[in-house]
Structure 1
Amino acid sequence: MTGNGSTFFGPTGAMWGDGNIQNNTFVSAPRPPATLPHQVGVVPLRARSFQHRAEADRLRSAVSAGETVVLCQLLVGMGGVGKTQLAADFAHQAWDEGTLELLVWITASSREDIVSGYARAGVEVCGADPRDREEAAGMFLAWLRAKRHQWLVVLDDLAEPDDLRGLWPPETPNGRTLVTTRSREPALLGTGRRRIEVGLFTPDEAVAYLSSALAVHGRTESRHDLAGLASDLGYLALALSQAAAYIADRKMGVTEYRDLLADRRRRLADALPRANRLPDDQTVTVTAVWSLSLDRADQQEPVGAARPLMQLLALGDPNGVPVAVLYGRSVERFYVAAMPDLVPVWGIVGRGLQVLHRLSLIQEINTAYGTVRVHALVQRATRESLPADQHHAYARAMGDALLALWPEIDGGDPLLALTLRANTANLIACADEALVQAAVHPLLSRYGRSLGEAGLEGVSRDHFQSIVALARRLRGSEDPDILTAQWELARWQGEAGDAAGAASTLRQLLADTARQNGPDHLNTLLVRSSLAHWQGKAGDPDGAVVGLAQVLDDFRRILHDTHPLTLDTRASLAHWRGETGDPDCAVTALAQVVRDRLTSQGWDHPGTLNNMGSLAEWQGRAGDPAAAVSCFAELLPVVERVLGTDHPYTLSVRGDLAHWRGEAGDPTGAAAALGQLLTEARRILGPNHPRTKVIHSRLAHWQQGPREPGLPE
């Protein structure tokens, strides 16, 4: 049918009849193929502030290192890294260059979507019958194979490799295929296909993007503020885009926005634009992207395993959660309760991690160190999806798992200790109340001691101050757990250099402990012993001797002479008797303590190592530097083996050994050893740590040069 110079393509028909009966027959006329060049589907608009990045250059390179034409490229990465924008930029540039005759963009979230996209292309390009989608899709794929036109097919957001089974565009020299996906399935790879990992922006790229995105709205911000915001958002492209839109829409400053983002009382969604205010034609917020990914992961085999695993990972350090944490008994009960038919648990964990990695919800599994990396914003979105009661349960389970993994002594594996501290710090930051509300979790004490023993005495003190304050707020001041935390607080107050503050804390604690537990309770005696020690450190050695002698009598009466608490008190009393002017008594008493330690606890016990060091020190101070050198030389290899070469106590033993070598007549050897030790102490502890300053002072002494003002002898 023609009319007004145009042609109608669509249903046509004929009418005939006999009398009052009329018959109508309609026939669909085929649509003629579109004139090339032609686009099928809607290519997303270029982002207004599209940030060029290395992945774009790799994408535009059509030749691999072996000079073999790359017919299919896959952009792979977690949700929100900018895969779609990279693909759209590539498609727009290829089209603008005028080399393409056909550009097809298909949202490939399901097999049905892919078939529908191919069918539409078949109708538009091949004139296929729209009533038969499968036939139309097949005609389009056949056209791609047979024709010699230059074409590009983009399959955006492919969910499952199986969705493309039998539907991959053909491998022809005149065609290119580009796929974006979160899946790392090996099935996606094959001859002629190249995977390009799309990661986070670099810090410079992120700052450049934010600067450009805000400049569109007439905003100019300092590079320092933008760098801080980029870091807060983990350099994730989608998060940066939506944060810039929120800042511009609300007309707020970057610093104000960062405060909003850091506010633990607010959810991540509160710092993102509403769905109708998203930039660059985006359709979902960054939190929704990950929620959909997790839903997809939870449907993979073993069904239901991925979500609880991700919820545990969300509580750890984004830079590395120990895989061993996920295999602990405390974690096992969650899986057994949720999925009693899925055993053994270790198999579920391993397969669940594989699913999360395939869908890019976890960034990598570092087999060398046994850790899993998760983006911090993914963690936050996952945590915020948990109801409060589940959040508390998972937090305590994570605490149990970290504590079970923590060795009694940190020094054997410094990297493990560092990893456990980082994970505990993150757990405390996002779930401190869960770790205190029902009971003060013992992980909190282990973490604080690890900090102090690593030379971070001030950080340990601040940690225990926070725990005491939180526990008082949540549970009242009379709770027994608070008394334990206060005792730890006093210890690290003193170790951080505030002996008077430690003594003051312990005096108040003694009154509370004695009132709650009675005068002969071990906790009361322990507080008395600690108080006497810090009284001595605060300048009252005579008072320390009196107090320790009294509490030692009580320990011997209630326990026995070689009980660890009795041995601790005996060693402390010996030290303060030496400080009051009787070094020979200190040597005699400490030698007996060391013998008793070796018999009851062995060489490797921390108490033995500490008492052996004290004995060596008092041997030197009693006028026998050669004996001190011999004792420290015997102690050093044991300390290095048990605690590690970088442990603060190991550094102290090395410094003491060098010093007494000088006192024994080898000043040159002492200076050489202390010079090497000073370099290591600055690296490990920092230049301003008290131990580093002591080493520096001793080095200056044995070099017979001037000492820096304020440095201790």
Structure 2
Amino acid sequence: MEVFRGTTPVPLTAGKLRVLLATLLLGANRTVPFDTLVDRLWGENPPPSARNTVHVYTMRLRRVLGEGPDGAPLVRTRPNGYALEITPRQLDVTAFHELLERARAAHTTGAAVEESALLSEALALWQGPALLDVPSESLQRGAATRLTDERLHALERRAEVELRLGRHAEIVGELDALTREHPLRERLWAALMLALTRSGRTGEALAAYRRVRGLFRDEMGIDPGEHVDRVHQLILTGNAAPGRAEAGGPRAQRGPWEVTPCQLPPAPRCFVGRTGPVRTLTRLLTSPAHGRRGSPGGAGEAMPVGIVTGQPGVGKTTLALHVAHAVRARFPDGQLYVNLQGHCRAAPLAPAVALGRCLRALGLPAHQVPADEEERAGLYRSLLADRRVLVLLDDAAEPRQVRPLLPGGPGCAVIVTSRDDLRGLAAIEGGHRIRLTTMTDEESVALLTGLLGPARADAEPGAVRALAAECAWLPLALRIAAANVDALPRTPVARYVDVLRSRGRLAQLVSPGDEGAAVRAAFDLSYRRLSEPAATLFARLSLLPGPDFAGPAAGVLMDRSPAGAAPLLDTLVSANLVSAGGGGRYRVHDLLGEYAAARAEGDAGAPAARARLFDFYLTTARAATALLHPRPRGPSHPPAPGTGCPGPRDEAEALDWLDGELPSLVASARRALDLGRLDHAWRLADALRGYFTSRGHGAEGLAVCDAALVAARRAGNERAEASVLGLLGDIHFLLSGYEEADRCHSRSLAISRRTGDVSGQAGSLFSLGLANVHLGRPGHSIRYQEEALSLARRAGDVDAQALTLHHIGVAELLSARPGLGLRRQEQALALSRRTGNGATLCQALSGTGIVAWFQGDLAAALAAFSECLELARRLGNPHLENNALSHLSGTRCDAGDYEQAATDAGQAISLSRWTGERVHEAAALEALATVRRCTGDTTAALTDYHRALSLARELHFGYGEVRVLTSLIEAYRADGRPARALHYGRQALGRIRATGLLLSRTRAFAGIAHAHLDLGDRPRAVRYAGRALELARRHGQRLVMARSLYVYGLTQQALHGPEAALPHWRAALAVFEELGVPERRRLGELVAA
């Protein structure tokens, strides 16, 4: 730490003065409380005269620093401490943070060169390790660590910007040194590997990967995470070139899931003409006024939205794809494509479903995609806020379908195609409309010439011009006619025109608004030219429920194997009747779909083909889900008839099939309901149970369940209805919709009781118990779980007994019956060790640890939670790992192991965000906030507490809300705001009464007593402290009891003097010393004094 007056150094050699100044600077322009100053100066061993000594040091510091411009001392006295008044420019830490903010702004506008320069300027302010010469353990542990992390984060950001700028070779040396200095920073390793391979040193890049993998395995017993692993895969597959994936960059800063989507369908073959519309759309998308890279002030500009409208078949999608491919290099963060199905036989795509597809395309795991449409839209905009992504929304029905899919950042651009003119989108969102009409005669001839080849077209120019006219100059008709002519190389074009005129007489009657007649004429000729099997397949493709399909579905329609149907598909693609997309999937244009449906009306085999298709979806879904989840919950049902189509062979194939066919599966449930195939709808929901509850896809799961529930009720099948309601409840529970989960499982239970379905009753009762404990209703939870336990015992299901006993034990503990809770947990642990079921054992260990923690047996709690964590990681179960990490953090914090507690909490937060388990995120945020409060960083602690509180309330997570409210009492007290502490104390007591979470009263009463004492209200302080002490003794909460004794002693000291406090403090000290917690040192000094 260095101090200057102007350019003259100010000597400050005394260590305590340096500590005092550093503390005041870190809290510049805010009051730093006396308690914080004492802690920074002496830690846990302050002298008896600490406050007086602080005054002396402050006077000395004032003399050294002098006065400010206003003539007043820079260090000023405040009611509860001191404040150092300085301007932001006087402190290098403030300058560092301002430069980082400017760098973020530059990143938002895509100004990479400016961003790199600002980051370099910020990093140049560092002269060495933070607070190196400031002798304060708490400052080194807190502020110094935080500042060091900020510096490392800035170094990582700069490395990623340099990679984007192509300065690979220049940064290899720096990155090599940084990885040696900070060997556990994964983003630095990932950047080094990219820099090496892009500098032509791939061997060294792979060697760096082996080095970091060995380091992580030796130091932490795990492999490196997503950043390093992703770059390693890119190197191995030869995809590490610039623009494919940076080491982290702006995407990696937001999460390990993000990828660069490249979803555009192939560029159209032989694009000609449309000069004006192409120029207009291209200029709109690439104008520097729209937040393009390097554009000053671009962040404030509107995002460009191009709306391409026109009649069916006029070439809207062709134009949009042509321009999108032409400008894609200007959108290096990816290109999204969504077919909104606005005018096809399937229902228009709901915005929530479209958003889900976009989020998953951006790499977000399905289980992290929110269920609510607004939440999906918000997350979508957040992920795209700082990115440059092109979004193509094809075939929109109306503006309401498009609006949720518009990104918020100016760096993105959107193309929308629609038959509708979307006036509302143009008026409100500022979209620029480009209306396509039919092609000119010259453009039509040019397109036919390109498709047929110049030699053939030039040989019959008149016939080509006549063909264009017969096709009404409509691009879709022109392409289909060209495909027909091209398939007849020995037939003159003029002859084809004659046939078109004779067989498609409607073309002669074309008038404005009836160009479709020409299209039907072209369709007729293409259809009649097909072989009978190909024509039959084309007609039956209209039976498909979804927007696209894969080869096996085509085989099922023809009762052939996928290989047997492949030549027919090739024929249809060659005839331009089917479009081939990426990943082996196909699509039929909406006009062709209508035409195919008309042809299928005369197909006697269509009903059987549709039945085979439904059976194919059901049996394959069941087989795929069984591979992923061998023991799905729910009733068993007779298998559907086989289809002869081979199912997935392993888990990877199963997951690929389910993910690829999800839109078709959802549409299949709806179509089955419409067609009266009621069994298919609810059986499909049951078949997908394990997929929906493990992979997320909440919106899709709810859509299938809605159709299945109606189908089960129409069929009068109550068992099926109860099963679907149970799945609905499970999906709502996983989406943190505990109230709705409770309603669904209650209805399922009522039906299962009526039908005598014991298995269904047990499942519903167990699920009701889980929902109610999360809602903060432990009494209800116990009643449900006790009945579920009785049914499990009657059925002899030992695993179910162990799991239910565990949850009963947790609810008993929260209801202030720790003795009963402990007995239940011990029973659960014994049963789970006997059965050897790892997941059940893990939860029983967690329950045992929770009881020990609440009883103050920290050693036993740590042992149980540690074993639980090890087992969860061995099982690969992130849900159980999350639980263990949060509990370990809380226990270690109580034991004074703050560094490891912070690490555990940080890992839990990262893991919960990766898995999308927001309840766990709230719990982990509360754990991290508590560590920060205990280490004196109350500002950061309060921020995290309030984030956890908002999340808990949003999720109706009753226990989490009560725990955070109770912690806020202590946090605001530590921050010198006892009145605010009482505000949250009243809220905590209100929620405790409402939820029945009675065990939390003890901490709440102790914190409220301390706050009343701070405010000088001694009678209330004595009353609340006495109640806290009584409850802690009654419940056996030994650590809380000792803390309550300390607070009670403070009240007695305030009323009667120190002697009255000593008996209580000595009793508290005996417990503190027995448990080995950090409070023993400070209280010991207090008793000794």
Q: Tell me if structure 2 keeps the 8 A contact 1:490–1:505.
A: yes
Task: Give the equivalent residue in structure 2 for 1:400.
Answer: 619
Counterparts of residues 321-336 of structure 1 (less than 5 Å): 321=549, 326=553, 332=556, 335-336=558-559
Decide whether aligned partners of structure 1 residues 561 and 524 sit closer, same or farther in structure 2, where only a CA change above 3 A counts.
Answer: closer
Task: Give the equivalent residue in structure 2 for 1:349.
Answer: 565
Task: Give the equivalent residue in structure 2 for 1:635.
Answer: 871
Give the Cα–Cα distance (whole angstroms) in 2 for the partners of residues 528 and 58 of structure 1: 53
Task: Give the equivalent residue in structure 1 for 2:792.
Answer: 555
Counterparts of residues 304-703 of structure 1 (less than 5 Å): 306-307=537-538, 310-311=541-542, 314-316=544-546, 318=548, 321=549, 326=553, 332=556, 335-336=558-559, 345-364=561-580, 366-367=582-583, 371-374=584-587, 377=590, 381=594, 384-385=597-598, 389=607, 391=610, 394-409=613-628, 418-428=659-669, 430-434=671-675, 437-447=678-688, 449-455=690-696, 460=701, 464-465=705-706, 467-472=708-713, 474-476=714-716, 479-497=718-736, 499=738, 502-517=741-756, 521-557=758-794, 559-562=795-798, 565-566=800-801, 568-580=803-815, 581=818, 582-598=820-836, 608-609=838-839, 612-623=842-853, 624-640=860-876, 666-672=897-903, 674-675=905-906, 678=909, 681-682=912-913, 685=916, 689-703=918-932
Q: Secondary structure at the match of 2:482?
A: strand
Q: Deviation per CA, 1:435-485, whole angstroms, max 9, x where unpaired?
A: 86245433213445533434566875675355324543x334x53311211
Q: Secondary structure at the match of 1:164?
A: coil
The count of residues paired between Structure 1 and Structure 2 equals 462
Counterparts of residues 87-106 of structure 1 (less than 5 Å): 89-90=442-443
Give the Cα–Cα distance (whole angstroms) in 1 for the partners of residues 831 and 576 of structure 2: 57
Decide whether aligned partners of structure 1 residues 682 and 543 sit closer, same or farther in structure 2, where only a CA change above 3 A counts.
Answer: closer
Q: Secondary structure at the match of 1:401?
A: helix
Q: Tell me if structure 2 keeps the 8 A contact 1:311–1:383.
A: yes
Read off the aligned partner of 2:930 and give its amino acid letter. Answer: H
Q: Secondary structure at the match of 1:710?
A: helix
Decide whether aligned partners of structure 1 residues 514 and 278 sit closer, same or farther in structure 2, where only a CA change above 3 A counts.
Answer: farther
Give the Cα–Cα distance (whole angstroms) in 1 for the partners of residues 906 and 592 of structure 2: 45
Give the Cα–Cα distance (whole angstroms) in 1 for the partners of residues 619 and 910 of structure 2: 38
Greater strand proportion: 1
Q: Secondary structure at the match of 1:349?
A: helix
Q: Deviation per CA, 1:619-676, whole angstroms, max 9, x where unpaired?
A: 2442334224422432343443xx6xxx766666665666666566543344345446
Give the Cα–Cα distance (whole angstroms) in 2 for the partners of residues 453 and 58 of structure 1: 36
Decide whether aligned partners of structure 1 residues 288 and 586 sit closer, same or farther in structure 2, where only a CA change above 3 A counts.
Answer: farther
The equivalent position to 1:164 in structure 2, one of 485, 489, 494, is: 489
Return 5+ residue gaps in structure 1 as ranges: 1-44, 60-79, 95-103, 125-153, 169-273, 337-341, 603-607
Q: Secondary structure at the match of 2:929?
A: helix
Give the Cα–Cα distance (whole angstroms) in 1 for the partners of residues 670 and 614 of structure 2: 11
Task: Give the equivalent residue in structure 1 for 2:1067.
Answer: none
Shift of 1:164: 1.8
Q: Secondary structure at the match of 1:163?
A: coil
Read off the aligned partner of 2:793 and give its amino acid letter. Answer: R
Q: Tell me if structure 1 keeps the 8 A contact 2:866–2:884.
A: no
Read off the aligned partner of 1:523 and give its amino acid letter. Answer: G
Shift of 1:306: 3.5
Give the Cα–Cα distance (whole angstroms) in 2 for the partners of residues 278 and 517 of structure 1: 66
- TM, length-normalised to structure 2: 0.35
Task: Give the equivalent residue in structure 2 for 1:710.
Answer: 950
Q: Tell me if structure 2 keeps the 8 A contact 1:468–1:486.
A: yes
Q: Tell me if structure 1 keeps the 8 A contact 2:738–2:771.
A: yes
Give the Cα–Cα distance (whole angstroms) in 1 for the partners of residues 530 and 884 of structure 2: 52
Higher relative contact order (CA 8 A, sep 6+): 1
Q: Deviation per CA, 1:216-247, whole angstroms, max 9, x where unpaired?
A: xxxxxxxxxxxxxxxxxxxxxxxxxxxxxxxx
Give the Cα–Cα distance (whole angstroms) in 1 for the partners of residues 738 and 814 of structure 2: 16
Counterparts of residues 14-413 of structure 1 (less than 5 Å): 89-90=442-443, 118=460, 157-159=482-484, 161-164=486-489, 279=513, 283-285=517-519, 299=532, 303=534, 306-307=537-538, 310-311=541-542, 314-316=544-546, 318=548, 321=549, 326=553, 332=556, 335-336=558-559, 345-364=561-580, 366-367=582-583, 371-374=584-587, 377=590, 381=594, 384-385=597-598, 389=607, 391=610, 394-409=613-628
Read off the aligned partner of 1:372 and give its amino acid letter. Answer: R
Read off the aligned partner of 1:157 and give its amino acid letter. Answer: A
Q: Tell me if structure 2 keeps the 8 A contact 1:667–1:702.
A: yes
Give the Cα–Cα distance (whole angstroms) in 2 for the partners of residues 376 and 596 of structure 1: 60
Q: Tell me if structure 2 keeps the 8 A contact 1:545–1:577.
A: yes
Give the Cα–Cα distance (whole angstroms) in 2 for the partners of residues 383 and 538 of structure 1: 52
Decide whether aligned partners of structure 1 residues 422 and 311 sit closer, same or farther in structure 2, where only a CA change above 3 A counts.
Answer: same
Shift of 1:372: 1.0
Shift of 1:46: 8.7
Decide whether aligned partners of structure 1 residues 471 and 680 sit closer, same or farther in structure 2, where only a CA change above 3 A counts.
Answer: same
Shift of 1:570: 4.6
Q: Secondary structure at the match of 2:488?
A: helix
Supply the RMSD in Å over aligned alpha carbons.
Answer: 5.5
Task: Give the equivalent residue in structure 2 for 1:199.
Answer: none
Shift of 1:348: 0.8
Give the Cα–Cα distance (whole angstroms) in 2 for the partners of residues 528 and 613 of structure 1: 18
Decide whether aligned partners of structure 1 residues 48 and 350 sit closer, same or farther in structure 2, where only a CA change above 3 A counts.
Answer: closer
Q: Tell me if structure 1 keeps the 8 A contact 2:889–2:927.
A: no
Q: Secondary structure at the match of 2:728?
A: helix
Q: Deviation per CA, 1:370-425, whole angstroms, max 9, x where unpaired?
A: x4142573796478555695656634433333333335437965666543544423
Decide whether aligned partners of structure 1 residues 609 and 51 sit closer, same or farther in structure 2, where only a CA change above 3 A counts.
Answer: same
Return 5+ residue gaps in structure 2 as ranges: 1-271, 283-317, 323-394, 396-416, 418-434, 467-478, 494-507, 631-650, 854-859, 934-940, 952-959, 965-1089
Q: Tell me if structure 2 keeps the 8 A contact 1:471–1:482.
A: yes
Q: Secondary structure at the match of 1:700?
A: helix
Shift of 1:308: 7.4
- TM, length-normalised to structure 1: 0.51
Shift of 1:613: 3.7
Give the Cα–Cα distance (whole angstroms) in 1 for the partners of residues 538 and 273 of structure 2: 34
- Identity of paired residues, percent? 12
Decide whether aligned partners of structure 1 residues 156 and 423 sit closer, same or farther in structure 2, where only a CA change above 3 A counts.
Answer: closer
Q: Tell me if structure 1 keeps the 8 A contact 2:558–2:565.
A: no
